[in-house]
């Protein structure tokens, strides 16, 4: 039975799962959810994710939501197929992957989400972005990217010399971020910029980022 992903192409969380699936070379079916019409807040979608957020995921009898959890599941189940995204053959390396996945989830996601909402989403509804909010969140993001710059001066990827979920999980937000006037936060940091150029040019990233469409 084919893997089914219920989501939306513009959704960063949906893209996160699709990139993982492509890295693994797995077949899947994307079932579009009309978020503009509020389908994610109604049945039958709520039976798949009671929190009304995309994506929802089914693999046979397995039903999951939360993109990062889905990717961990895929990486563990299919660790011998495609890219080993958890670096599972080394306890130390896999621990570093987990560490930097936590950094992405708890330190990168929040400021980048707020910035993208202010710059991209809010103007779509005819409202002006709050420049003070953007400035505050850019300051937070800048401090974090300074840490990344130091880390990436010592290793090619966040968890070491091999690409992993720690890197992949950043990609969807950065696809949009790099189209904004704030992209210099990445390009002005040489090691962060080189890292982004690398991970953004991977075939799986190129394939899925080409389908990501803004609201």
Query: For residue 36, what pLDDT is reported?
Result: 83
Query: What is the phi/psi pair of residue 71, to 5°?
Result: -65, -35
**pLDDT tens, residue order, the chain (215 aa):** 589 999 999 999 999 999 999 999 999 999 999 888 888 999 998 988 999 999 999 999 999 999 999 999 999 999 999 999 999 999 999 999 999 999 999 999 999 999 999 999 999 889 999 999 999 999 999 999 999 999 999 999 999 999 999 999 999 999 999 999 999 999 999 999 999 999 999 999 999 999 997 64
pLDDT of residue 214: 67
**CA-CA distance, 186 to 66, in Å (whole number)?**
27
Determine the pLDDT at residue 211. 93
Helix (H/G/I), strand (E/B), else coil: 84: coil
Tokens representing residue 30 in the block: 């994307």
Q: What is the pTM of this model?
A: 0.95
Q: How far apart are CA 8 and CA 215, in angstroms?
A: 10
């Amino acid at each position: 039975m084919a893997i089914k992903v219920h989501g939306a192409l513009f959704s960063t969380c949906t893209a996160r799962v699709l990139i993982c699936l492509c890295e693994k070379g797995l077949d899947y079916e994307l079932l579009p959810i009309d978020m503009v019409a509020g389908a994610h807040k109604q049945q039958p979608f709520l039976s798949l994710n009671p929190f009304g957020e995309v994506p929802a995921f089914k693999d046979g009898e397995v039903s999951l939501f939360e993109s990062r959890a889905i990717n961990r599941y895929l990486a563990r189940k299919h660790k011998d197929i495609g890219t080993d995204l958890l670096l599972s053959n080394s306890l130390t390396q896999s621990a570093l992957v987990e560490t930097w996945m936590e950094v992405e989830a708890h330190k990168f996601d929040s400021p980048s989400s707020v910035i993208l909402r202010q710059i991209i989403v809010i103007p779509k509804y005819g409202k002006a972005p709050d420049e003070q909010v953007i400035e505050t969140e850019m300051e937070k993001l800048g401090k974090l990217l300074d840490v990344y710059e130091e880390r990436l001066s010592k290793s090619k990827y966040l968890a070491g010399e091999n690409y992993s979920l720690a890197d992949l999980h950043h990609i969807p937000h950065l696809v949009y971020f790099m189209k904004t006037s704030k992209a210099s936060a990445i390009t002005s940091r040489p090691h962060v910029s080189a890292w982004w150029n690398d991970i953004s040019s991977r075939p799986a990233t190129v394939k899925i980022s080409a389908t990501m469409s803004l609201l």
